[in-house]
Structure 1
């Protein structure tokens, strides 16, 4: 797309919990939670298109912008072998994930609907457990591969989703700088509002900004219920102004509880919408609204309808 990212000046929606929706609501098997494998078949590509379309229709109906996030959260190099793929095959699936988004944008975009194509980058390991923490240099090198592949496919920006430690988030930001793309860094937090490493959200945002010269275009929070982080955002401060997006879970459960679940906890979409509205009343700079685990188009609809009347919409 040409020009500045629309989410910097207006309300923009994005999707919900892609993997949990496909797995629990639609009965589609996702090995290792990797939705990128769906790009390998016509049926899989059709399932992804069917997933994205209602969100685009919602954004068009409500007059917001929209961020199309690629199905590449679990598609960095370490996941090739577990998925039974050669690296070149996984790279090609990354490209095809972006190509699908470009086709959808060509179909839906217009003067009334600005659509951003974003390349999604996930953590090297588990989203909930930082495990062995890489050095910043190692993280930059590791994530640089996928960043280059997504950049070659023509994404407008990158989104680092479910970041659970500062070094990896910093490395991805530096990898984005190497390919000249804007990036949103989205941290996940535990029920106490802190990263799984114990770092506060404030310290994490400040550390990434300090290490990268403030390179991230903005920060986000994802894969946690608003009750888990609302208290952290109860005051307006310089660091909170860097947070422009929320992709919350439907469930109030902890990450450990979610990991053990065999059935989806879809929470209450209407209540979730009210909680987002309360967040935006305190932090009106938040302009990117979507969902994470357990959410689907019902939740994003409730969130959007609760928030579209706010001034920044």
Structure 2
């Protein structure tokens, strides 16, 4: 596999004393709050025309303004959670069109970053990688080597387009997460692995969160820059973090759901459960008090700028520069 050198002039969150905000639930916000029709929940389809790109920019603006106002860093996460070959084929995208969409997603975020970033509010651009299959269950199971090959082209396009890092969201199993981390090492771009957990704090594969993090680290030589948890409410994982060992120090970010419902319940729901933004922010604060090395705070399904505003007010006040 071709190795390329990637350089970023900015420190990544785990290298900084600063807190970084990121956005909320992109797809749920667009569908339930903005009335967008996202086929297969694929937000990258909006990149096909100027009107769609402007909708994506409009989505990010309130979050960017929050970061600047609070003096926090900000991570712009590309709208490419579904932009891999399997999902693209279902959506009628050719390989060329898929590559163009992944490239355009980063170029659009670079424009936004230039518009908003300040000395006190550094902006980073992350290429978002989603699971090959479903984000809630383990399907289309791959070996680590298969996942390494499968996700490599998307990661390379992100690097070539100028992303500072790549983030694999809603990972359900160790093998796919390992393959993504190895592909990022091949291409020489920092990676972040974000696992999702069920109501028992275990991955959908059944593996305990700590075991999963340790397994990926062992297989990649501590390849990921850090790990995150996303697409679960803190009530599902807070006790796991409290009881955890040294692996807990590898967790650098949280992107929780607004709702305390299980994945199965959320899948069956026809209405958006936004939960309680203030309660979610308070739970973040409790976790950050116990884990002061966590640097990235944002949201996932059901969260929007109201939740991130509450989290910013509660967690970012007085953050170190």
TM-score, length of structure 2 as denominator length: 0.95
Kindly state the Cα deviation for residue 7 of structure 1 after the two structures are TM-superposed.
4.6
Tell me the equivalent position of 1:107.
Answer: 115
Deviates most, 108-117 or 23-32? 108-117
Tell me the equivalent position of 1:233.
Answer: 241
Tell me the equivalent position of 2:303.
Answer: 295
1:182-213 deviation line (CA, Å, top 9, x unaligned): 01100000000000011000000000000000
In 2, the alpha carbon distance for the partners of 1:168 and 1:113 equals 33
4+ residue runs of structure 1 moved beyond 4 angstroms? 310-313
1:256 and 2:275 matched: no
1:133-181 deviation line (CA, Å, top 9, x unaligned): 2101000000112111111111000000000000000000001111100
Kindly state the Cα deviation for residue 236 of structure 1 after the two structures are TM-superposed.
6.0
Pairwise CA RMSD: 1.2
In 2, the alpha carbon distance for the partners of 1:97 and 1:15 equals 15
1:32 and 2:40 matched: yes
For residues 191-270 of structure 1, what are the structure 2 equivalents within 5 Å? 191-235=199-243, 237-270=245-278
From 146, 149, 164, the equivalent of 1:141 is: 149
In 1, the alpha carbon distance for the partners of 2:13 and 2:86 equals 33
Tell me the equivalent position of 1:155.
Answer: 163
Residues 312/165 of structure 1: CA separation in 2 closer, same or farther (3 Å cut): farther
In 2, the alpha carbon distance for the partners of 1:267 and 1:132 equals 32
Tell me the equivalent position of 1:131.
Answer: 139
From 8, 11, 14, the equivalent of 1:4 is: 11
The question of whether the paired residues in 2 share the 8 Å contact of 1:159 and 1:184 is answered with yes
The question of whether the paired residues in 1 share the 8 Å contact of 2:72 and 2:319 is answered with no
From 175, 186, 189, the equivalent of 2:194 is: 186
Unpaired runs of 5+ residues, structure 2, are 1-7
TM-score, length of structure 1 as denominator length: 0.98
Deviates most, 228-237 or 218-227? 228-237
Kindly state the Cα deviation for residue 237 of structure 1 after the two structures are TM-superposed.
3.0
1:209-245 deviation line (CA, Å, top 9, x unaligned): 0000001000000000000000011146310000010
* Aligned positions, number: 313
Kindly state the Cα deviation for residue 3 of structure 1 after the two structures are TM-superposed.
3.6
1:93 and 2:98 matched: no
In 2, the alpha carbon distance for the partners of 1:7 and 1:137 equals 27
Q: Secondary structure at the match of 2:90?
A: coil
Tell me the equivalent position of 1:55.
Answer: 63
The question of whether the paired residues in 2 share the 8 Å contact of 1:222 and 1:248 is answered with yes
The question of whether the paired residues in 2 share the 8 Å contact of 1:285 and 1:312 is answered with no
